[in-house]
Structure 1
Amino acid sequence: MNKILLIEDEESIRGFLKINLKRNNFEVIEAVNGEEGLNLVRKEKPDIVILDIMLPGIDGFRVCRIIREENRDIGIIMLTAKGQDMDKIMGLEYGADDYIVKPFNPLEVVLRIKAILRRLKEDNSAVIKIDKYKLDPYSKKFYKDGKEIYLTPKEYLIVKTFMENPNRAFSRDELLDSAWGKDYFGDSKIIDVNIRRIRAKIEDNPSEPKYIETIWGMGYRWKQ
């Protein structure tokens, strides 16, 4: 069952949405302000957030930006007042997936939610997840515990090779071919340098790596 978080301070709108979403077999959780909403996002990990712009305390734009910075996998639908085109533009710029203008038909909300869930499923089909790590080939980004970790293009290609083939041992030459191409004729020790840098970025204890394991006399592997 998909989980929907409503962040809306008007009880009548919140209640109206909740009833209709539950009728369509969604699990619904609620927040009445931005701060409470952010806490529930982190705790409950909803699939979709329906977010009003005008909230007490932290406004909807800021909430949207924070959610998107912390998690790219949550769908965000913003509720805007009729005729507020700038609100729509700003919401999309801050990372919202869609917007709905008040007053709205509950069927429209359900259809928008289902459309976003389908897109998220398609987007995530190529995403590689191993334990607390995630690699997104579409955006070429890497995440640990939901937070993006910057990898250089070569580091990214090495990590991608590992995560696509967990537990497989790769020689330095194979990793060179994967990241630099078969026409590269430089020193294979550049792989060791990049492995040290990658470990420093992604391992909890780089001096005792848990995931990127050295295979003596061979090379390296991603241990799963």
Structure 2
Amino acid sequence: MPTILVADDDANIRELVCLFLRNDGFDTVEAKDGKEALTVYTSVHIDLVVLDIMMPNMDGWALCKELRKRSPDLPLLMLTARGETWEKVKGFELGTDDYLTKPFDPLELTVRVKSLLKRYKMAFTQTIQFGSITLDRKTYKVLCGANSLVLPLKEFELLYKLSGTPGQVFTREQLIDQIWGMDYAGDDRTIDVHIKRLRERFVGTPDFCIETVRGLGYRLEIMS
């Protein structure tokens, strides 16, 4: 089973989170601050990290940034005592994948953990399929039912990125860095133009929609 690292300076929170995760079959390890979390991360194989923002020695912001540098493909779930938009934006820009505001329902946390692990498993494959849509990164082809579509490279990469982790919010800055590269000198509003084009190409499709998350960025939702 996956091993979850729980980093929080509140021993009661750690105990509660670990209890519910273990009851769902996960293995857990604990850390009381960011520095200890990094030590644990280097000595144990970790599949996902649940981390609090406010911790001594190294806070959640610094821990998130360091973990993302060491492992771009490590799922990160951030806990916060407040649900303010600026905190979410900052967390997403540093590389967190999801947020949960305290106090939280432990059952919701386990559901989010499972969802993140499922998203990342999908992201590791070269082919993504949902509904009648298939994205093949080896050939850069898009199959929509029996029809084959050829997208410009950046549009394909953008759609592939969003659909690889459905439901996850990406900021414009994240998408620019991950698709255009950190040295890109253009306006990040180019993301808006590419999103508009993708929406136009797939207008009327019942398989997915690309949603604008006001103040944050974009996410792709797969329609059931």
The equivalent of 2:115 in structure 1 is: 115
The equivalent of 1:16 in structure 2 is: 16
Give the drift of 1:88: 1.5
Distance 1:76 1:121 in 2: 14
The equivalent of 2:65 in structure 1 is: 65
The one-letter amino acid paired with 1:9 is: D
Distance 1:123 1:72 in 2: 12
The equivalent of 1:3 in structure 2 is: 3
Q: CA offsets per residue over residues 97-137 of structure 1, 9 Å max, x none?
A: 0010000001110111111111110111229xxxxxxxx97
Distance 2:16 2:32 in 1: 14
- Higher-RCO chain (CA-CA 8 Å, sequence separation at least 6): 2
Distance 1:84 1:6 in 2: 22
With the length of structure 2 as denominator, give the TM-score of the two structures. 0.56
The equivalent of 2:53 in structure 1 is: 53
The equivalent of 2:34 in structure 1 is: 34
The one-letter amino acid paired with 1:116 is: L
Aligned length: 133
Distance 1:100 1:109 in 2: 7
Give the drift of 1:62: 0.7
Aligned 1:74-113 pairs, distance under 5 A: 74-113=74-113
Give the drift of 1:87: 1.6
Distance 2:6 2:12 in 1: 12
SS of aligned partner of 1:73: coil
Give the drift of 1:82: 2.8
The one-letter amino acid paired with 2:21 is: L
SS of aligned partner of 1:100: strand
Give the drift of 1:6: 0.3
Distance 1:83 1:18 in 2: 23
The one-letter amino acid paired with 2:44 is: E
The equivalent of 1:43 in structure 2 is: 43
Q: CA RMSD in A?
A: 2.3
Runs of 5+ consecutive residues of structure 1 not aligned to the other structure: 128-135, 140-224
Give the drift of 1:84: 2.9
Distance 2:85 2:41 in 1: 27
Give the drift of 1:83: 3.4
Tell me if structure 2 keeps the 8 A contact 1:2–1:47: yes
Q: CA offsets per residue over residues 169-215 of structure 1, 9 Å max, x none?
A: xxxxxxxxxxxxxxxxxxxxxxxxxxxxxxxxxxxxxxxxxxxxxxx
Aligned-residue identity in percent:
37
SS of aligned partner of 1:58: coil
Tell me if structure 2 keeps the 8 A contact 1:80–1:88: no
Structure index of larger Rg: 1
The one-letter amino acid paired with 1:49 is: V
The equivalent of 1:124 in structure 2 is: 124
Runs of 5+ consecutive residues of structure 2 not aligned to the other structure: 128-136, 139-156, 159-224
Distance 1:83 1:99 in 2: 9
SS of aligned partner of 2:57: coil
1:122 and 1:13, CA in 2 relative to 1: closer, same or farther beyond 3 A?
same
Q: CA offsets per residue over residues 4-58 of structure 1, 9 Å max, x none?
A: 0000010111101011010000000000011010111122131110000000011
